[in-house]
Amino acid sequence: MNILPRRQFLSNMAKYALLSGLHPLVNYSTSKKDTPIRIIIDADTANEVDDLYAIARALLEPRLDIVGITSAQWHTNPRTPNDSVGESQRLNREILELMDKTDIPIPQGSNFPMVNTLRPQPSAAANFIIERALATPAGEKLAIAILGPCTNIASAVLLEPKIIPKLSVNYLGFWYDVPTATWSKREFNTNNDPNAVDVLLNTANLEFRVMTATTSQHLEFEKTVMDELLKGKGGIGDYLIDRWESYDRFWKTTDLEKTKWTMWDVAILEAIAYPELCEQKMVMTPHDNLAREIGVYTKIDVPAMKANFDRALRAHLRE
């Protein structure tokens, strides 16, 4: 790809902003106010705990029109099963069954990461993303929430570049230090498919927004609070509690009683549905990628996001 020098790129961006009258911090993902955001959630659900909480919460959000949930692989965890995407697929199906949402498609993604930035990993998930993106009306965008590696979305972009202007991609990954404007790609989701991440970063004109681990790490749920909200309520409530209690958080040497859990994935879906609960800015991509500006969430309203989760699940479990 032709990578512009950064000074020239910034000059071009400034000219574009003046000519178009657009402000780079405005969210252009929806065409009409109060219209639910059409979104595909791409999740490595079986990898951890927070994916399940995030998906359950999103399914109850009227601001989101979930058109599909695709399953993603992961492989850097030392306890990863051979069929990691199949495990994510199974959990996605169980969540939808428990919440009576089986009308939502759940195409399966690739079980392997991309071997380089030129070779996509074809899958039912990638084909589904292409199909739904191409069907998106002119002037609108299909939102993608990536809760794990970028394999399925990057593959879709490589397989059918026509979808690029039709996507609003939201990725949970990276570490980013705001004061020094410094990126780190040494982060779990990014490590699970660095080639796929680079494809998205290097794709000009792709709307790309990042909920970094730096920002989302502040959203922690307390077990006592979740017990009061979910435990003994049956259905998705007990399912989520069982996942918390049964999952072996083997990498953590503190809080062995699992009294708290970082809900990284809940943060990104809340941010998409409620951008007013966040601060975001446009920043330059990492130095080894195409020089362009992308969106980064720099701050989240943790109490408000917790309150949203409580309200939605409490109302659902009363039904």
- Kindly report the CATH number that applies to the domain delimited by 35-318: 3.90.245.10
- Contact present, 72 and 65 (Cβ < 8 Å): no
Cα–Cα distance for residue pair 171/154, rounded to 1 Å:
12
Specify the 3-state DSSP secondary structure of 21. coil
- Contact present, 83 and 73 (Cβ < 8 Å): no
Lookup: tokens for 204: 């000009």
Cα–Cα distance for residue pair 189/148, rounded to 1 Å:
5
Judge whether residue 5 has pLDDT over 90. Answer: no
Lookup: tokens for 257: 């009683």
- Contact present, 151 and 196 (Cβ < 8 Å): yes
> Could you tell me which residues come within 8 angstroms of residue 184 by beta carbon, excluding any fewer than 6 positions away?
174, 175, 176, 177
The predicted model gives 5-29 an average pLDDT of 38
Judge whether residue 287 has pLDDT over 50. Answer: yes
Judging by DSSP bridges, how do beta strands 278-284 and 260-262 pair with one another?
A: unpaired
**Percentage with pLDDT > 70 across the chain:** 90
- Amino acid 33: pLDDT: 55
Q: Which of 283, 145, 111, 129 is nearest to 216 (CA)?
A: 145
- Contact present, 314 and 233 (Cβ < 8 Å): no
Confidence class of residue 319 from pLDDT cuts 50, 70 and 90?
confident
Confidence class of residue 7 from pLDDT cuts 50, 70 and 90?
very low
In the chain, domain spans = 35-318
Q: 66 to each of 30, 47, 57, 206, 289, how far by Cα in Å?
A: 14, 21, 12, 21, 31
- Amino acid 269: pLDDT: 98
DSSP code per residue over 193-213: -HHHHHHHHT-TT-EEEEE-H
Tens digits of per-residue pLDDT, 175-229?
Answer: 999 999 999 999 999 999 999 999 999 999 999 999 999 999 999 999 999 999 9
Tens digits of per-residue pLDDT, 37-69?
Answer: 999 999 999 999 999 999 999 999 999 999 999
**SS3 readout for 102-144:** CCCCCCCCCCCCCCCCCCCCCCHHHHHHHHHHHCCCCCCCEEE
The helix or strand, by DSSP H or E, that contains position 182, with its residue range, turns out to be strand 182-184
Cα–Cα distance for residue pair 8/44, rounded to 1 Å:
38
Q: 217 to each of 9, 124, 212, how far by Cα in Å?
A: 32, 31, 8
Judge whether residue 19 has pLDDT over 50. Answer: no
The predicted model gives 144-161 an average pLDDT of 98
Lookup: tokens for 95: 């969540």
Specify the 3-state DSSP secondary structure of 252. coil
Largest interatomic CA distance in the chain? 60
